[in-house]
Amino acid sequence: MNIIWWVLRPFYWLGLLPVIAVFLVACVQFSRDTDVSLGIMAIALVYFGIGYLLFAVAPRYFKSRLDRMVEKVKLTGFNPSHEAVSVMFNRYVGFDAAAKKALYVDVNLNSATVIDFDQVSSWELVPDKSPHLLFKLVTRVPNLHEIGVRIKANQFGAWKSDMHSLFG
């Protein structure tokens, strides 16, 4: 579901300009042809409502769903000092420096995994063609060899220093 939401966002922006133009034309021509103008304006308002759902309601829903999964683990005593949430709100990685544990939550797989720092082989911040950095954590956990979380590019320096302080 998160991926569908993420893919639909640019298409919405692409369609927004013509919808605004047609909406404004319908407003200007309202007195000439009321029935057609009302229909066009109603369709445009529905399109604006879809935009509100895509950019306001959906992100809050996805973030709250991820937060609920993280809170379940936090109730067991996990207290993260460093946290990363993916830009799609489908993955989370948190690090508890005191307990020397990491938490990986994947909403798509409906899984939460606590990993000891001893099981972490390496970490890497990978800048690529994407506007969002890939934070990669390589582990020795059998079903979870590589964890990837896309984070905002402006968090690069902070994450690099945080990971150096945790893992060296």
Q: Tell me: the pLDDT tens digits for 108-124?
A: 899 999 999 999 999 99
Strand, helix or coil for residue 26: helix
Predicted local confidence at residue 167, as pLDDT: 83
Between the two ends of the chain, the Cα-to-Cα distance in Å is 36
How sure is the predictor about 160, in pLDDT bands with cuts at 50, 70 and 90? confident
CATH of domain 78-167: 2.30.29.30
β pairing state of 101-106 and 144-152: unpaired
Q: Does residue 83 register a pLDDT over 80?
A: yes
Which residue type does 148 have?
G
Q: Which residues, 6+ apart, have CB-to-CB distance to 80 below 8 Å?
A: 74, 94, 95, 96, 103
Q: Does residue 24 register a pLDDT over 90?
A: yes
Which strands form 144-152's sheet, in the order they lie side by side? 120-126, 132-141, 144-152
C-alpha Rg value of the chain to the nearest Å: 22
- This prediction has a pTM of 0.80
Which strands form 82-85's sheet, in the order they lie side by side? 82-85, 91-96, 101-106, 111-116
In contact, 48 and 91? CB cutoff 8 Å = no
Domain-wise residue ranges, the chain:
2-66, 78-167
Predicted local confidence at residue 130, as pLDDT: 78
d(CA 139, CA 145): 5
Q: Which two tokens stand for residue 10?
A: 């640019």
Predicted local confidence at residue 74, as pLDDT: 94
Which residue type does 85 have?
V
The fraction of the chain above a pLDDT of 90, given in percent, is 67
d(CA 26, CA 5): 29
Q: Does residue 159 register a pLDDT over 90?
A: no
Q: Which two tokens stand for residue 159?
A: 């994450």
Predicted local confidence at residue 152, as pLDDT: 84
